[in-house]
Structure 1
Amino acid sequence: MTSQIDIHPTAFVHPSAQIYGHVSIGPRASIWCNAVIRAEVAHVEIHEGANIQDFVMIHTDPGNPVIVGAYTSVTHHATLHGCRIGDHCLIGINATVYNGAQIGAGSIIGQHAYVKDRTIVPAHSIAVGSPAKVIGTRDNRLPNRINAEFYMRNGECYAAGNHRAWAGPEFESWFAATMQRLQGEYAPIATGA
């Protein structure tokens, strides 16, 4: 069977990223320097606005695809193996999420955490440690979306050859407008309305 790699035209994939097998990358998603996605036996889905940062390793297992939800950030050196990550999540630097694990929407997995196989992390959780344990509950969707917006902008700028997208007056103007837009969009979530 040949590779089935589907990359949305608005997605950014860094030239050093390596992608193999059955992989779909959604609108405005980004795959960064030296990330590796291997989908030999199950598929990988990277949804809209998600970012897979430098040196992330994503690998599937029989019956265990990898799904990364919309506006989720998988940060540097993290490993995702046969797991499902909900929308608006943040997976911390050097964290590992293993086979059959599911991370609920709006959650944060701390740096260096190890989420064991088949672990279910409920929505809006903060989980840390090895093995990871939920230490708090909070709706993290707004801060996690802000992080994803930074990477959506960065992907667009890198595609245009601008490697300083987070500095200067243009960035400050973009950031102010983005914060205003998102605070309005997420206000009902934040107030519980």
Structure 2
Amino acid sequence: MGIIKKCEGKTPQIGENTYIADNAVIVGDVVIGKSCSIWWSAVVRGDVNSITIGDETNIQDGAVIHCTYQKASTTIGNKVSIGHKAIVHGCIIEDAALVGMGAIVMDNAVVQSNSIVAAGAVVLENTIVESGYIYAGVPAKKVKKIEGELSEIFSRTAKNYTLYKTWFEE
């Protein structure tokens, strides 16, 4: 079970059936829901503000979840997938959204439910990523409506990571 550290009198709260990889780091004012997974080298750093993560959410390898002191907390909803090496900082990610590998979501941005931030995209401060669309590029812009097979990506990815974590639970 990763590195879990108290900071400024606040100890991370971790929901039942949540998997935390051995070298994942969780610090301070962090609440993680049930049946989540926090993978290798991921950092969830609630030292300067609060971080709340819903149920059945996965924070993949090398991702960094942080916030801004006295300005912006971070809230991540249920059944969210945060891709490998993504940075989620001081923003809101609503339920059933996907933040792709290496993407960056900045302070006060809102990624609405059932939307995708493409791999490598940069969502600037105060941007709203609209539900039902893919945003890509630097800075991220609306590029495509999510429909057909693609609309299943949210539940499929969340379900897959719920399975993957069972391979490592003791």
| Structure 1 residue aligned with 2:161 | 151
| Structure 2 residue aligned with 1:10 | 17
| Structure 1 residue aligned with 2:113 | 105
2:91 is the alignment partner of 1:76: no
Determine which of 59, 66, 77 is the counterpart of 1:59.
66
Give me the whole-angstrom Cα distance separating, in 1, the residues matched to 2:19 and 2:73: 22
1:141, distance to aligned residue in structure 2 (A): 5.2
| Structure 2 residue aligned with 1:170 | none
| Structure 1 residue aligned with 2:4 | none
Could you tell me the TM-score, scaled by structure 1's length? 0.79
Give me the whole-angstrom Cα distance separating, in 1, the residues matched to 2:119 and 2:38: 19
Q: Retained in 2: the 8 A contact 1:89–1:141?
A: no
Could you tell me the TM-score, scaled by structure 2's length? 0.90
The number of residues matched between the two structures is 160
Q: Normalized per residue, which structure has more strand?
A: 2
Q: Retained in 2: the 8 A contact 1:107–1:141?
A: no
Give me the whole-angstrom Cα distance separating, in 1, the residues matched to 2:73 and 2:166: 28
What is the one-letter code of the residue matched to 2:100?
G
Matches within 5 A, 1:127-142: 127-138=135-146, 142=152
Give me the whole-angstrom Cα distance separating, in 2, the residues matched to 1:80 and 1:89: 13
| Structure 2 residue aligned with 1:177 | none
Runs of 5+ unmatched residues, structure 1: 161-193
Q: Normalized per residue, which structure has more helix?
A: 1
Q: Retained in 2: the 8 A contact 1:88–1:141?
A: no
Give me the whole-angstrom Cα distance separating, in 1, the residues matched to 2:73 and 2:81: 18
1:76, distance to aligned residue in structure 2 (A): 0.3
| Structure 2 residue aligned with 1:31 | 38
Give me the whole-angstrom Cα distance separating, in 2, the residues matched to 1:16 and 1:72: 21
Give me the whole-angstrom Cα distance separating, in 2, the residues matched to 1:159 and 1:34: 17
Over 3 Å counting, the alpha-carbon distance change for 1:141 and 1:10 in structure 2 is farther
Runs of 5+ unmatched residues, structure 2: 1-7
Q: Equivalent pairs: percent with the same residue?
A: 31
Pair member with larger Rg: 1
1:130, distance to aligned residue in structure 2 (A): 0.2
Give me the whole-angstrom Cα distance separating, in 2, the residues matched to 1:146 and 1:110: 17
Give me the whole-angstrom Cα distance separating, in 2, the residues matched to 1:72 and 1:64: 20
Alpha-carbon RMSD: 1.2
Give me the whole-angstrom Cα distance separating, in 2, the residues matched to 1:52 and 1:44: 13
2:40 is the alignment partner of 1:40: no
Determine which of 115, 127, 139 is the counterpart of 1:119.
127
1:137, distance to aligned residue in structure 2 (A): 2.2
| Structure 2 residue aligned with 1:91 | 99
